[in-house]
Amino acid sequence: MTTDAFTIAGKMALPYQYFAGATSSRCIVALRDEKKILASRCERSDRTVFPPRQVCDLTFEDLSDNWVEVSDRGTITGFTIIRYAEPYQPMAPPYVLALIRLDGSDATLTHIVHSEDIETVAIGQRVNAVFAETPVNNILAIRHFCCVPTDSDSP
């Protein structure tokens, strides 16, 4: 006995809520309300990390109360150019998605880099954060990073 397979066209919604937790929530609120970048600091491993963590991944120390502010400037440590459109992208391509090590942090974050000429973006290039004009309750409270001209990046 054979059964024919059939297909029913349709769409399925999958609503959900993401619980950021106490550590990420404090970070997001500081980004949104104060335009400050808060990182977690582990004295035992001598590391500062952004995005912040509740527990140090090396020492397993509780970092819940060990907060420091890091710079809104950083360095590109790796990147890719997004050239194709996919659903749910934060912007229309082409754009640069980069690994950025903020000054004062020992970890990298992945974020959008805005450049007038994306072909000139390079590893080692300096960037600074541009915060969203309207409140945003996620990492896009930093709207993107902009490339800093070499001559204006003096220490």
What is this structure's pTM? 0.81
Quick one: residue 88, left, alpha or beta (phi over 0 = left, psi -120 to 50 = alpha)? left
Best CA proximity match to 130, nearest among 3, 31, 50, 25: 31
**Number of helices followed by number of strands (H, E) in the chain:** 1, 8
Going by the DSSP 8-state scheme, the letter that residue 149 receives in this structure is P
Query: Domain ranges in the chain?
Result: 21-152
Angle, vertex CA 72, rays to CA 71 and CA 73, nearest 5 = 85
Question: pLDDT by residue for the chain (155 residues), tens digit each?
Answer: 666 777 778 887 778 787 788 888 999 999 999 999 999 999 999 999 999 999 999 999 999 999 999 999 999 999 999 999 988 888 899 999 999 999 999 999 999 999 989 999 999 999 999 999 999 899 999 999 999 887 654 44
Q: What are phi and psi of 57, to 5 degrees?
A: -75, -10
